């Protein structure tokens, strides 16, 4: 019976269409629409700066702008009176006026004010440069505060100058470096592939299990039950067919997504373990639909509703995060758990790390299986 069901689904192209072709096509569409959202290209920026040529700290402040990675910055030295007109006229995206004696004031522990003028049409690039200026001046301010504290303690002026300069030019105590995606997180491309695989998995497993209702409506189920075999074998054969269809289609989608969208989910063995677990959960849920639905049409509609709701909640179209009760309910969603498990494997996690997601999906399968045995079979009652 399992072989017959599988052969039938392969012949009528239903699994190939709804389990592989449609989700891959949807992946392409979503990639075209949202694929470049995480990639922000920054334009070149012209900075009109007024700073004394002999002011070392002032020159260092302006020079820090040219060292920002990802932004091509051109610094034009102009007179103080020309900074604002150039910025307001659109010739410069940012204007900086460093007052005369800025470096001496910083090293002596005195205050100094740097004037920033955003140019006409300033964008994200200007905001980045302003943040850089603020960060550098805050570091220099630390030197000013240190020198002021030293003055209150009675240190000589020459020592105050050296102390303030050392603090202002010191290397930050805390630095950041670019790292890999955090555990349990996928990049946008991988999230799209995992979400679509989980969404259409719920449709795919239904092809095998929902055929029970078709057998019942066509009258062939009664004939099968009259044969000398255990009634449970019929249900088991349908479940096995749906399970094999779900495993095959999900693996194809993950492999296709990895190749087409340059996605890496980590260890293939762990990915297979996650797929086997989530397909078991989806298959068990389908049995609940079979018991509740009276007709094939009702079962198809119910299956579609569950697939869309669980798929969207699991991040099939965009990531969803929540806390409290809503967060707990999302964690119980097998599609969300599957996506989180793929995030762990993509981040280099091992078998022990994915143990919790696998256990949650298998527990969901057991609970759904028990519920399917407890709820009345409305199809038989009809």
Averaged pLDDT for residues 70-79: 87
| Distance of alpha carbon 125 from alpha carbon 135, whole angstroms | 16
Terminal CA-CA length for the chain: 25
| Distance of alpha carbon 103 from alpha carbon 283, whole angstroms | 71
- Judged against a pLDDT cut of 70, whether residue 172 lies above it is answered with no
Tokens of 58: 């002032």
What's the full length of the chain, in residues? 382
SS3 of residue 226 by DSSP: coil
For the ranges 101-110, 193-202, 285-294, the lowest mean pLDDT is seen at 101-110
Contact call for residues 307 and 202 (beta carbons, < 8 A): yes
Averaged pLDDT for residues 222-238: 66
- Judged against a pLDDT cut of 50, whether residue 306 lies above it is answered with yes
Which is higher by pLDDT, 203 or 33? 203
Question: What pLDDT score does 381 carry?
Answer: 45
- Per-residue pLDDT band for 68 (boundaries 50, 70, 90) equals confident
Contact call for residues 117 and 95 (beta carbons, < 8 A): yes
Which is higher by pLDDT, 297 or 336? 336
Q: How many CB atoms lie within 10 A of CB 52?
A: 14
Enumerate the domain spans of the chain: 2-36+187-381, 45-168
What DSSP character marks residue 171?
P
CA dihedral sign, ordered 250, 251, 254, 257: negative
- Per-residue pLDDT band for 224 (boundaries 50, 70, 90) equals low
45-168: CATH topology is D-Maltodextrin-Binding Protein; domain 2 (3.40.190)
- Judged against a pLDDT cut of 50, whether residue 210 lies above it is answered with yes
For all residues of the chain together, what is the average pLDDT?
78
| Distance of alpha carbon 67 from alpha carbon 49, whole angstroms | 15
Question: What pLDDT score does 228 carry?
Answer: 63
Which is higher by pLDDT, 251 or 71? 251
What pLDDT, in 10s, does the model give residues 108-154?
666 678 888 888 767 788 888 888 888 887 777 665 666 566 666 66
């Amino acid at each position: 019976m399992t072989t017959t069901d599988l052969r039938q689904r392969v012949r009528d192209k239903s699994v190939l269409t709804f389990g592989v072709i449609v989700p891959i096509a949807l992946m392409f569409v979503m990639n075209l629409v949202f694929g470049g959202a995480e990639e922000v290209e920054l334009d070149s920026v012209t900075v009109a700066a007024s700073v004394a040529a002999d002011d070392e700290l002032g020159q260092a402040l302006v020079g820090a702008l040219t060292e920002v990675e990802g932004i091509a910055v051109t610094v034009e030295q102009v007179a103080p009176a020309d900074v604002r007109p150039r910025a307001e006229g659109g010739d410069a995206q940012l204007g900086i006026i460093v007052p005369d004696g800025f470096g001496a004031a910083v090293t002596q522990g005195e205050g100094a004010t740097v004037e920033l003028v955003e140019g006409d049409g300033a964008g994200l690039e200007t905001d980045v440069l302003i943040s850089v200026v603020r960060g550098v001046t805050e570091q220099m301010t630390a030197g000013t505060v240190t020198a002021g504290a030293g003055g209150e303690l009675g240190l000589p002026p020459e020592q105050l100058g050296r102390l303030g300069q050392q603090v202002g030019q010191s290397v930050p105590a805390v630095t950041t470096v670019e790292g890999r995606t955090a555990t349990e997180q996928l990049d946008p491309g991988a999230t799209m592939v995992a979400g679509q695989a989980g969404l259409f998995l719920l449709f795919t497993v239904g092809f095998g299990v929902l055929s029970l209702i078709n057998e019942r409506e066509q009258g062939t189920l009664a004939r099968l039950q009259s044969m000398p075999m255990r009634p449970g074998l019929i249900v088991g054969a349908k479940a096995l067919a749906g399970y094999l269809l779900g495993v095959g289609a999900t693996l194809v989608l993950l492999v296709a997504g990895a190749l087409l969208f340059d996605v890496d989910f980590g260890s293939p063995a762990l990915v297979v373990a996650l797929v086997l677990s989530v397909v078991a959960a989806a298959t068990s849920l389908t049995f609940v639909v079979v018991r509740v639905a009276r007709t094939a049409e009702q079962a198809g509609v119910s299956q579609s509703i569950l697939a869309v709701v669980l798929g969207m909640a699991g991040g099939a179209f965009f990531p969803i995060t929540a806390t409290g009760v809503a967060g707990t309910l999302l964690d119980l969603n097998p599609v969300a758990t599957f996506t989180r498990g793929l995030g762990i494997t993509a981040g280099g996690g091992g078998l022990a790390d994915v143990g919790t997601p696998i256990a949650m999906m298998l527990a969901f399968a057991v609970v759904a299986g028990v519920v399917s045995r407890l709820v009345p079979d409305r199809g038989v009652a009809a």
